[in-house]
Amino acid sequence: MRPVLPLAVALLLAAASLGAWAQKTAADGIAEYRAMLADGNPADLFEAKGEGLWKQARGPKNASLEKCDLGKGPGVIKGAFVELPRYFADTQRVQDMESRLLTCMETLQGFNAAEIAKTAFGRGEQVNMTALTAYISAESRGMSFNLPNNTVQEKTMYEVGKRLFFARSGTHDFSCSSCHGEDSKRIRLQDLPNLTKNPGAGSGFGAWPAYRVSNGQMWSMQLRLNDCYRQQRFPYPLFGSDATIALGMYLGVNGKGGESIAPAIKR
Amino acid sequence: MQKIYAYAAAGACLFLSACASVPSSAELDKLTAAIIKASFRDEALVKVDRLTQDDANRECSAADVAGKPIDEALRASIEAANMKAIKWPSDGKFIGDWREGEKIAQSGRGLTWTDDATQGNGGNCYNCHKIDQKEISYGTLGPSLHNYGKLRGITDPNSATAKPIVEYTWGKIWNAKAYNACSNMPRAGHAGILNEAQVRHVVGLLLDPKSPVNQ
């Protein structure tokens, strides 16, 4: 993915002046810098691309995704994102946005979902997957998270997600909770949302997919979770795996009522 | 199908429509274990065996899920086992070069699947602690360590009076769970994140009166 050049220049200038600010204003400075960047969020470009992909006939079956059921009926996009993950009777699984898109890409378009899941982020169909998530999430911008969480399967996945959130392991004994279990904490200068409750859960979960200025990339929630696990020194979470969906369920339910700002812009 | 079978074997009913209510806590633990097993793979130097929890991680995770502190007797036995596992300096030298310690404290590298195993690991210290006050980019997950030695009255770390603090500092960095079973702090020496020489340098950073930490 190519960073937008004027933005990169703006970032350098902002970063340079950031160093000059005193420590007490660092957080304010970062907020100001984010607000400045949000004026031209490159996520717009991914949304537009995603919309095109949604409507375009593609894959071995030469079909579009316009009949894809994201939980609110075939083809309904508006409001779908703020109710995911949720249980789908046809697959008998709780699915998040990405794993549900894989189902639609396989059943409607004839793609091989397992192959796409195995493809590295930023390659092949994964690039299209990211654009689709930007488009679908943008259609719920400003709406409140309201995962149904009313079937046994969903409630079970929430409980599994809670256990995953607190699971300490790896060389560093880290869990998600090591960094995201308390209010008002930081890693270096980076503020950490408390993901066990609102407002942290809503604003943290509700920001992804997001455009990351630091590497000029659009990241889906699957990639966000993947990189958390990398930094936790855990092994590699499989794309669309039940562990990632259960965590999404835990975060999304905790964030109920929070406003979706996805696709957001991040440091 | 294989995955569904594995979950069913774990005693859970995630995929069985016959299941009318959320499984019991014990069944959820089993299901979580099965889902973890099916959801991760090896990548570069990071293998799935990292998901195997020792007593401290298993019991502290369970306490976190329950939202309660760990049982007192369990806490004591976990701390005793971790205390016993501390490796004290082989040459009796506790204090290394604080300049090297500062570099180790600054570095967050090591042990992720994108790290190069030949590059050596950092201590990640500034991610969570204020240390040298000149470094304004510090985290707040752990307490401030600025003036760590000075506040504890350490003027000569090699003196007999300094010994308890010096040993505690080594022990805490080597294995934080020896002093607090459910500490959020990694066990730098115990887990092989830092080697003995690196731990010695970090102890020096905290306790050497000449270290900027104590200025």
Give A172's contacts in chain B (Cβ within 8 Å): 111, 124, 186, 191, 193
Classify A174 as helix, strand or coil: strand
- Residues B112, B205, single domain; the answer is yes
Strands A264-266, A210-212: pairing is: parallel
Decide if B76 is inside a domain.
no
Judged against a pLDDT cut of 50, whether residue A180 lies above it is answered with yes
Give A192's contacts in chain B (Cβ within 8 Å): 141
Contacts of A154 (CB under 8 A, 6+ apart): A85, A86, A87, A94, A147, A148, A249
Answer yes or no: do B111 and A172 touch at CB < 8 A.
yes
> Domain containing B181 — which CATH number?
1.10.760.10
Candidates B183, B173, B170, B199; CA nearest to B141 is B183
User: Per mean pLDDT, which range of A5-9, A57-61, A64-68, B174-178 is the poorest?
Assistant: A5-9
Q: Higher model confidence: residue B86 or residue A3?
A: B86
Judged against a pLDDT cut of 60, whether residue B14 lies above it is answered with no
Decide if B4 is inside a domain.
yes
User: How much is the pLDDT for A16?
Assistant: 43
User: How much is the pLDDT for A4?
Assistant: 44
| CB–CB contacts below 8 A, A to B | 154
Candidates A180, A242, A173; CA nearest to B50 is A173
Q: Which fold has domain A43-138?
A: Cytochrome Bc1 Complex; Chain D, domain 2 (1.10.760)
- The shortest C-alpha distance from A267 to chain B (Å) reads 15
A228 catalytic, yes or no?
A: yes
Answer yes or no: do B42 and A173 touch at CB < 8 A.
no
Peptide bond into A3 cis (omega under 30): no
- The shortest C-alpha distance from A154 to chain B (Å) reads 9
**DSSP class of B177:** G
Distance of CA A39 to the CA centre of its chain: 21
> What's domain A143-266's architecture?
Orthogonal Bundle (1.10)
Write down the H helix ranges in B67-214: 72-84, 98-106, 125-128, 148-151, 163-174, 196-207
As a whole number of angstroms, the distance between CA A160 and CA B30 comes to 10
User: How much is the pLDDT for A215?
Assistant: 84
Answer yes or no: do B35 and A230 touch at CB < 8 A.
no
Of B13, B140, B184, the CB nearest to A186: B140
Decide if B84 is inside a domain.
no
Task: Calculate mean pLDDT across residues A179-198.
Answer: 94
Confidence of residue B6 (pLDDT cuts 50, 70, 90): low
Total count of domains within chain B: 2
Report, in angstroms and rounded to the nearest whole number, the Rg of chain A calculated over CA atoms: 18
pLDDT per residue as tens digits for the range A128-158: 999 999 999 999 999 999 999 999 999 999 9
Catalytic residue among A104, A176, A179, A228: A228
Judged against a pLDDT cut of 90, whether residue A120 lies above it is answered with yes
Closest residue in A to B123 (Cα–Cα): A172
Give B27's contacts in chain A (Cβ within 8 Å): none
Confidence of residue A181 (pLDDT cuts 50, 70, 90): very high
User: How much is the pLDDT for B4?
Assistant: 52
Judged against a pLDDT cut of 60, whether residue A11 lies above it is answered with no
Give A153's contacts in chain B (Cβ within 8 Å): 14-15
- Residues B118, B24, single domain; the answer is no
Cα-flanking dihedrals φ and ψ of residue A109, to 5°?
-105, -15
User: How much is the pLDDT for A42?
Assistant: 85
Kindly provide the ipTM of the predicted complex, given to two decimals: 0.93
As a whole number of angstroms, the distance between CA B126 and CA A12 comes to 24
The range of the structural domain enclosing residue B124 comes to: 98-214
Average pLDDT, rounded, for chain B: 93
- The shortest C-alpha distance from A38 to chain B (Å) reads 24
- Residues B32, B109, single domain; the answer is no
As a whole number of angstroms, the distance between CA B20 and CA B18 comes to 6
Decide if B134 is inside a domain.
yes
**Amino acid in position A212:** R
Contact assessment for residue A43 and residue A265, using Cβ atoms and an 8 Å cutoff: yes
- Residues B111, B198, single domain; the answer is yes
pLDDT per residue as tens digits for the range B45-65: 999 999 999 999 999 999 999
pTM for the whole structure: 0.90
Q: Which residues numbered 3-62 in B keep a CB inside 8 Å of some CB on A? A: 3, 12-15, 17, 19-23, 28-29, 31-32, 35-36, 38-43, 46-48, 50-53, 56-57, 60-61
- Residues B115, B195, single domain; the answer is yes
